[in-house]
Amino acid sequence: MRCWKGFIQKSRDGDEFLNALSSLILILVVAGFSFAGGQISSSRVFFGVILPYAAMAAFLAGLTYRVLQWARAPVPFHILTTCGQQKSLAWIKPNRIESPQGKLGVAARMALEILLFRSLFRNSRSELREGPRLLYAEDKWLWLGALAFHWSLLVILLRHLRFFVAPVPRFVLGLEALDGFFQIGAPQLLVTDVVVVVALLYLLQRRFMDPKVRYVSLMSDYFALFLLLGIAVTGILMRYFFKADLEGVKQLAIGLVTFSPTIPASVGPLFFVHLTLVSVLLVYFPFSKLVHMGGIFLSPTRNLANNSRMVRHVNPWNYPVKVHTYQEWEEEFHDKIKAAGLPLERE
């Protein structure tokens, strides 16, 4: 409780509290509009068809633009990050993953980074204690929270394929069965639903509670978290509390992907809130920090091999430079240097 009071008090001095609050209000306003829109037959076409199509178009165009921008960016130097021994002399043991010398090592390093967030595993925190003494300690919670969030999001998205594909692929049914492994309640409680919400709340409280993280948090940081939380919570409400008509949803979803959209009357307003928040996410994604999902693949500090001792990397747009060697210089001023009594390389 004291912590929260401290947070609110300190935040009021700065912009942090406003950043978080305005993001939350923005999401609630969007949710309110789409909930109301979902009940008015004339605006259901906007929220159920026009907005999702426009959002998908913005997502694809935005992401393509970003990827092309990254791909076009010149990489004149070998600027990879390494924290392991590069391959050098035969008797020095190289670190093949930290400092990969070939494509296989790079692939292993990228896979560990993308699937297990390997660099985040080394995350540390610093604290100023009495003295004053600056202490550094390991901090695995951020790694765990981020990993839990991303993996559960992936499983949730894969499970959603059941709305868009008929017949539902076997692996989607398998994933759903695995996710409902604990067989609690009806409909079965899905582990990823719990994990995604807990992980998002952890990531959110970290921004509130840690003064250093709070100081660097912008509105966009809170917005992304509240948006994802909004999507997850509306989905959970539809599954466990205010049941959505899944037949109707499937008809709508398949209609959207086959470009013959229909909006069944049985689809309730909560679904429109869910879909609208997803549409906002799609539009927001390419232009926000969330686009790191694509960026990681094109990051030169991660995707290059550390082979600069074996391969000469020439800047691709190097043009031949006219050089003036020492020998030429000495030849030019030979007599003057000699007259001044200065040493010459060539007498």
CB 267 within 8 A of CB 52: no
Q: Closest CB to ligand HEM belongs to which residue?
A: 235
Indicate the burial class of 83 (C-beta count within 10 angstroms; 0-12, 13-18, 19 or more). exposed
Interface residue with ligand HEM among 193, 227, 229, 263 (CB under 6 A) is 193
Alpha helix locations (H) across 180-309? 191-209, 211-216, 219-236, 246-257, 269-284, 292-295, 300-303
Site residues for ligand HEM, 18-57, by CB under 6 A, read: none
Would you say 203 or 238 has its CB closer to ligand HEM?
Answer: 238
Identify the CA nearest to 217 among candidates 26, 19, 27: 19
Interaction of residue 232 with ligand HEM, rule CB under 6 A = yes
Amino acid 177 reads A
By CB under 6 A, name the one of 118, 160, 207, 302 that touches ligand HEM: 160
> Which stretch in 78-86, 156-164, 166-174, 204-212 sits in contact with ligand HEM by CB under 6 A?
156-164
Q: How far apart are CA 33 and CA 282, in angstroms?
A: 18
Of 51, 224, 238, 263, the residue at the interface with ligand HEM (CB under 6 A) is 238
Stretch that binds ligand HEM, among 80-88, 188-196, 311-319, 335-343 (CB under 6 A): 188-196
Segment near ligand HEM (CB under 6 A); pick from 141-149, 187-195, 286-294, 301-309: 187-195
Residue choice 51, 253, 270, 304 for contact with ligand HEM (CB under 6 A): 253
Three-class DSSP category at 169 = coil
Stretch that binds ligand HEM, among 6-14, 125-133, 136-144, 246-254 (CB under 6 A): 246-254
Cα–Cα dist 76/317, whole Å: 8
CB 204 within 8 A of CB 21: no
Q: Would you count residue 175 as binding ligand HEM (CB under 6 A)?
A: no
Query: Residue 190, interface with ligand HEM (CB under 6 A)?
Result: yes
Nearest CA to 229 among 192, 198, 200, 272?
200
Question: CB under 6 A: which stretch of 3-11, 61-69, 131-139, 272-280 binds ligand HEM?
Answer: 272-280
User: Which of 110, 236 has the CB closer to ligand HEM?
Assistant: 236
The reply to whether 229 sits near ligand HEM by the rule CB under 6 A is no
Rounded Cα distance between 257 and 53, Å, is 9
Let me know: does 283 contact 293? Beta carbons within 8 Å: no
Position 161, amino acid: L
Binding site for ligand HEM (CB under 6 A): 153, 156-157, 159-160, 163, 190, 192-193, 196, 231-232, 235-236, 238-239, 244, 246, 249, 253, 271, 274-275, 278, 281
